[in-house]
Chain A
Amino acid sequence: MIEHLPALVIAIPLFGAFITPLFRKRYNLAALWAILISGLTLVLVLLLEYQVLTKGMMIYVFGADKPTLVLPSGYRVPIRIMFQVDGIGAFMAISAGLMSFVGAVYSYSHLQKETGLEKYYTLLLLLTAGILGMVLTGDLFNLFVFLEIASIAGSALVGFRNYRGEASEAGIKYLIVSSVASLMVLFAVGILYGQYGHLNLAYLSKQITFNPLDMIALGLLFTSFAMKCGSVPMHYWVPDAYTEVPSGINPPLLVSTYASLYALFRVSFTLFGKITIDMATVGWIMSILGVLTMFIGVTMALVQKDVKRLMSYHAISQTGYMLLGVGVGLTVFHDKQALIEFGRTAMAGGVFHIINHIIYKSLLLLTAGALFYVTGTRNLNEMGGLARKMPITTISFMVGAAAISGIPPFNGFASKFLIYEAVYKLNPLLAIFAMVTSILTLASFVKVFASAFLGPPLEKYEKVREVPKPMIVAMVILAALCVLFGLFPDFVLDKIVYPAVDALINFIQYQSWGGLA
């Protein structure tokens, strides 16, 4: 049973998703079924992480008849599709499972007034299955198929509220951008297959050389995954998509964006590991992209009036932190001593920031959804004085805002401090940019807090009460995680983050299928 975990982690959400449309019109039952399935997936994913931590990389072959690798004699290539779960794959899988559970719990009451909900929960479960497949797979074409599953499910959910024209506009933009990115990935798959005749990531990484065709494939893959995670030249779809999607889907949609970031790291560190270990150019490109993203994101956020749109611009800028942290690690990949000195710490900061950001950004977006549920508007100029009526929402917002600005003892501080410390040793200018961005982020959130929560209560919000219990439960879970990760960062770093970082650095381990060949 334990060795079948990777397949069960995908099969159970799929199974649940195929059954959900049979609950026509009984929306509460569909919601409970979705919560059950996503809770079960969360438990399985935690077991998977425990397995990877204690026993090393897990290999799972689909459809083979022996529990070892199918390497027929005379050939040194695997024949079937394999799932190759290492530290960073399990790390992303935990965030996916956790966020889909939180999103399902939150949606139980957030969407009381909408119809067609059994399709909503189907799409939520399918989005989760797509993300989990993308982070666990070891085969390049399989990555493409699951990337398409996640993007198509995401765009159907973005346009879900079809009585608002803006939602459809955001949906079509998201769909076109993600389709073009996926087609570029498919083009790169075609080029790599034409040269080497195989599709397995570990096998390809052993064969990659430094010729123009492989450089084109690297460029295409890098560009398309950067497009899909919202870094700067192509960030236009992010605010529209995050604003118009129903708030319960914001956590899984965030994880889907960071799954593309994971794919970017997988391509740079593992697939093209033999190349990037000798040149620093790719690392510099990633770090510069990170700094630009940070800066442009936060400056455009300062002028927004719509609260969810403001938060999505902040999401773009925090993505820059992750790109910067891991980019610094990639830049010093070739220099063994610098890598041990500060590269590893920078990468740990970047990777830790992924899960921190997912937790506090989801918390902030869920509170924005709560504000929308209660007041019916998202415009900051129309809200005011809600602190007395909605105490738990206010506290959750304060926790989230403190975390995103990097104030101790919340979790944002821990990861940002690691990034500042390590990036300063590479190039002090980049660290200064990072700190300035942090200050601007704090300023922006103080403004939001003042407009929405402080001030005298307006009379049109006299009858406003606190939001229903499932929404409160979801927000409290995330706020508690913010506080816990902030108070005990070393525990999280040792158990989850450093194994992930080492899995990325140690690509030789990945190439030999965890020591099996």
Chain B
Amino acid sequence: MVKRILAIIFILVIGFWIANALAKVPFGEDKMLVGKYYLENVKEQTGAINAVTAVVVNYRGFDTLGEVTVLFIASTGVAALLWRRREERSAEVDGSLILKTGSRVLLPFIMLFGAYIFIHGHLTPGGGFPGGATIATAFLMIYLAYKEYEIDHNLFEPLEGLSGVSYVAVGLIGLAIGGYFLFDWIWQIWEVGDIGRLLSAGFIPIIYTIIGIKVGTELTGIIDRMIKESKEVEG
């Protein structure tokens, strides 16, 4: 009880102090500095019309590489931590008939929608990460409907590793062609495509496809590990 009261007082004091100080940051005013430069030059320098995507992949592409690495660490860590001698799924019954039929019907549409999100990353909101999460949702639905289903580990794990390698490879090719790591060689040197069409924006669709596949397989792998439980070894 004492701990709670002390915690509440401490938190209220800190909150009041922070709120008072944050009054100095004006809300809703146009105070962009680098943002203005990005918005004015995004069409010529990157070829995308979605400024957020251009910032994520092109101008601050190194942070995205770090983010992909964090997800990879999470997936490897979950696989390492939840390793058991023998494991199995512990569900007792299948889902209901509606769930089974509905999931089979909806599966291709959800995967198509996810692919649409990450392929059109440079034109509409979205990109690789929501697209990959949608694909993982499709697999989660199948896990919930069928009690015996399991993904093919021999397909998913190498796919995940290879997508990661290809992201670093794209960066290294940029190094070789243009002189800097993660240099957008497709738009700047080869000049493929027009602004506003699907085939444009340099390597943004390529990187987002790689990220979409990687995130989808990783999240599905994490779901698979967490759903199983260890079987008690007899004797």
Taking a contact as CB atoms under 8 Å apart, the answer to whether A11 and B73 are in contact is no
Q: Mark A96-126, 1 if CB is under 8 A from B, else 0.
A: 0000000000000000000110011011001
A315 at interface by CB-CB < 8 Å: no
Whose C-beta in chain A lies nearest to the C-beta of B57?
A: A63
| A141 and chain B: residue at smallest CB distance | B63
Within 8 A of A (CB), among B171-198: 171-172, 174-175, 178-184, 188
- What are 12 A-B pairs with beta-carbon distances under 8 A? A11-B181, A18-B165, A63-B181, A64-B183, A79-B37, A81-B63, A123-B77, A126-B72, A152-B74, A155-B77, A159-B81, A162-B82
> Does A509 interact with chain B (Cβ within 8 Å)?
no
Instruction: Give Cα A159–Cα B82 distance, bound, in whole angstroms.
Output: 10
Instruction: For the complex formed, measure the closest distance between the CB of A252 and the CB atoms of chain B, giving whole angstroms.
Output: 14
User: Least Cβ distance of B214 to chain A in Å?
Assistant: 10
Q: Which residues of B contact A75 (CB under 8 A)?
A: 37
Given contacts A123-B80, A156-B81, contact A18 B72 (CB under 8 A): yes
| Contact status A142-B62, CB under 8 Å | yes
**B5 at interface by CB-CB < 8 Å:** no
**Does more than half of chain A's interface fall in helix, strand or loop, or is it mixed?**
helix
Determine how close the nearest CB of chain B comes to the CB of A398; give it in whole angstroms: 36
**Whole-angstrom distance from the CB of A334 to the nearest CB of chain B?**
25
Q: A63-B182, A63-B183 are in contact. Are A145 and B81 (CB under 8 A)?
A: no
Residues of A contacting B63 in the complex (Cβ-Cβ under 8 angstroms) = 81, 141-142, 145
* B60 interfacial contact with A, CB 8 Å: yes
**Which residues of chain B come closer than 8 Å to A461, judged between CB atoms?**
none
* Residues of chain B lying within 8 A (CB to CB) of residue A197: 31-35
- Please tell me the size bucket of the interface on B: 35 or more
Binding site for A on B (CB under 8 A): 17-18, 20-22, 24-25, 31-35, 37-38, 58-63, 65-67, 69-70, 72-74, 76-77, 79-83, 157-158, 160-161, 164-165, 168, 171-172, 174-175, 178-184, 188
Q: Is the CB of B184 within 8 A of A63?
A: yes
- A residues 188-207 in Cβ contact with B at 8 Å: 191, 194-198
Q: Complex: how many Å from CA A119 to CA B188?
A: 38
Contact A61 B80 (CB under 8 A): no
**In the bound complex, CA of A416 to CA of B21 (Å):** 42
A132-164 at interface with B (beta carbon < 8 Å)? 133, 141-142, 145-146, 148-149, 152-153, 155-156, 159-160, 162
Taking A14-B65, A119-B79, A156-B81 as contacts, is the C-beta distance between A149 and B73 under 8 angstroms? yes
Q: Which residues of A sit under 8 angstroms from B24, Cβ to Cβ?
A: 195, 211-213
A156 nearest CB neighbor, chain B only: B77
Indicate which residue in A19, A72, A77, A146 contacts B161 across the interface (CB closer than 8 Å).
A19
Do A152 and B70 have beta carbons less than 8 Å apart?
A: yes
Q: A77-B33, A160-B80 are in contact. Are A65 and B165 (CB under 8 A)?
A: no
Chain A: residues with CB nearer than 8 A to chain B? 4, 7, 11, 14-15, 17-19, 21-22, 24, 61-65, 67, 72, 75, 77, 79-81, 115-116, 119-120, 122-123, 126, 129-130, 133, 141-142, 145-146, 148-149, 152-153, 155-156, 159-160, 162, 168, 171, 191, 194-198, 211-213, 216
Decide yes or no: A126 and B171 within 8 Å by CB, A62-B180, A191-B25 being known contacts. no
C-alpha spacing A196/B188, complex, angstroms = 31
Query: Besides A11-B172, A18-B165, A63-B181, 10 other CB < 8 A contacts?
Result: A19-B161, A22-B161, A65-B179, A81-B60, A81-B62, A115-B83, A126-B73, A146-B66, A197-B32, A213-B21
A171 — nearest CB in chain B belongs to which residue? B81
User: Is the CB–CB distance between A14 and B81 below 8 Å?
Assistant: no
Please tell me if the beta carbons of B32 and A116 are within 8 angstroms of each other in the complex.
no
Check A119–B70 contact: CB distance below 8 A.
Answer: no
- Provide the residues of chain B in CB contact with A123, threshold 8 Å: 73, 76-77, 80
Q: CB-nearest residue of chain A relative to B160?
A: A21
Tally the A-B contacts, defined by beta carbons under 8 Å: 155
Question: How far apart sit A208 and B70, CA to CA, in the bound complex (Å)?
Answer: 31
Q: In angstroms, how far is the closest chain A Cβ from the Cβ of B200? A: 18
**Contact across chains for A152 and B77 when beta carbons are under 8 A apart:** yes
- Take A63-B61, A79-B37, A149-B70 as given contacts and tell me if A21 and B157 are in contact as well, using a CB distance cutoff of 8 Å: yes
- Min CB gap A36→B, angstroms: 16
Task: Report yes or no: A4 in contact with B181, Cβ–Cβ below 8 A.
Answer: yes
> Please, which residues of chain A bring their CB within 8 A of the CB of B168?
11, 14-15, 18
Q: How far is the CA of A153 from the CA of B73 in the complex (A)?
A: 6
User: Which residue in chain A gives the minimum CB-CB distance to B71?
Assistant: A152
Q: Which of A142, A195, A213 contacts B66 (CB 8 A)?
A: A142
| Cα distance A81–B60 in the bound complex, in angstroms | 6
Contact of B59 with A63 in the complex, beta carbons under 8 Å: yes
Kindly state the separation between the CA atoms of A462 and B193 in the bound complex, as whole angstroms. Answer: 75
Chain A proximity of B20: nearest CB distance (Å):
8
- Interchain CB contact under 8 A, B37 and A145: no
**B184, chain A: closest CB distance, angstroms:** 7
Judge whether B81 and A4 touch: CB under 8 Å: no
When distances are taken between beta carbons in the complex, the residues of chain B under 8 Å from A126 are: 69, 72-73, 76
Asked if residues A195 and B25 are in contact (CB atoms below 8 Å), the reply is: yes
Q: Tell me which of B82, B158, B171, B179 contacts A22 (CB under 8 A).
A: B158
B18 & A216 in contact (Cβ 8 Å cutoff): yes
B52 to chain A, nearest CB (A): 15
A162 engages B81 (CB within 8 Å):
yes
Q: How far is the CA of A148 from the CA of B25 in the complex (A)?
A: 27
Determine if B66 and A15 form an interchain contact, defined as CB atoms under 8 angstroms apart.
no
- Measured in the bound complex, the distance between the Cα atoms of B33 and A19 in whole Å is 40
- Given A63-B181, A81-B60, CB of A21 within 8 Å of CB of B81: no
Q: Nearest Cβ in chain A — how far from B26, in angstroms?
A: 9
* One of A64, A129, A162, A216 near B69 (C-beta < 8 A): A129
Inter-chain CA distance A153–B78, complex, in Å, is: 11
**B14 — nearest CB in chain A belongs to which residue?**
A216
Bound: A259/B54 CA distance, A: 31
* Residues of chain B with a CB closer than 8 A to A168's CB: 81
